[in-house]
Amino acid sequence: MIAVLDYGIGNLRSAQKALQRVGADARLVDDPDEVAGADGIVLPGVGAFGRCAAALESSGLGDVARDAVSRGLPFLGICVGFQLLYEGSEEDPSAAGLGVLSGTVRRLPEGVKHPQMQWNTLDIGRSELLAGVPDPAWVYFVHSYAPEATDDTTSTCDYGGPVVATAERGPVWGSQFHPEKSGTVGLGILANFVAAVDASIGAPTAAGG
C-alpha cells in the first residue's frame, strides 16, 4: 500500500489516481496511525511553503514522514512536497522543512516569468526515478521556487539557467514538476516509484526489520 499523505493542502486525489493507474494500491491517508502499514509514502503539495509546512506538522503527518524516512521506506515528494524535504525555503524563512535533504529552496532566477507554468524538458543525470524516460522528456511545472543544486540533484530544467527538477538520496526521491500532470512520461516516472516500492517489500528496513 502506498499512502498519499493528506494534510489538507490542494487536490491530492490526482496524485492518488495517477498512482492507481500504474497499478498501485494508493490511498489518501490523514490519520498518522493508518500510515503504519504503508509500504511507500507520497507527499504532494501545492501553494506556499510555509502554509504547507505548518499544515503538515499540525496534522501530525510531519513526524510520520520523518519516521518513514528513518525506516527506509520508499518516499516521493512532489512539487511543494519535494521542497518540504529540504531544511527551509526563501519563500518563508520562519518555516522549517523536514530536513531530510540538505539545502535550501530558492526563488527562481530573475528575468523569467514567475511562476514557471509550462511544459519543459529535463537534463537528466543518473536517476532511478527517471529510468527509461524518453529523450527529450517533457514534464509539467508550476512553481516559483526550487531546491538549490546539491549532490542529491539528479535532473534539471532550463529556466533562466539550470533549475533543479528532481533529487534522490537512497529511497527518498523528489520531483519539482507534477508527474501526475505530465502525461505518459509522468506515468512512467510514477511507475518507477511503484516498482521501487514493490522491490522493497520484504527487504530489511533501515531499522533492521
* pLDDT tens track for 16-33: 999 999 999 999 999 999
CB 130 within 8 A of CB 155: yes
Q: Grade residue 207 by pLDDT with cuts at 50, 70 and 90.
A: very low
| CATH code for residues 2-200 | 3.40.50.880
> Does 123 score more than 50 pLDDT?
yes
Q: Would you say residue 206 has pLDDT above 50?
A: no
pLDDT in tens, 178-198: 999 999 999 999 999 999 999
How many Å apart are CA 48 and CA 138, to the nearest integer? 25
Q: Which residue has the higher pLDDT, 202 or 207?
A: 202
Model pTM score:
0.94
- Point out the least confidently predicted range of 136-150, 155-169, 190-204: 190-204
- Long-range (24+ apart) CB contacts under 8 A made by 180-184 are 180/14, 180/15, 180/17, 180/18, 180/19, 180/78, 181/14, 181/140, 182/138, 182/139, 182/140, 183/138
Please give the order of strands across the beta sheet that includes 40-43.
26-29, 2-5, 40-43, 75-78, 172-175, 162-169, 153-158, 123-124
pLDDT at 208: 40
Which band of pLDDT confidence, cut at 50, 70 and 90, is reported for residue 151? Answer: very high
Q: Which H or E element spans position 162? A: strand 162-169
Active site residues: 79, 178, 180
Q: Which helix (H) or strand (E) holds 156?
A: strand 153-158
Alpha-helical runs (H) found in 59-182: 61-70, 80-83
The pLDDT of residue 28 is: 96
For range 165-173, the mean pLDDT? 98
CA atoms of 46 and 140, how far apart (whole Å): 14
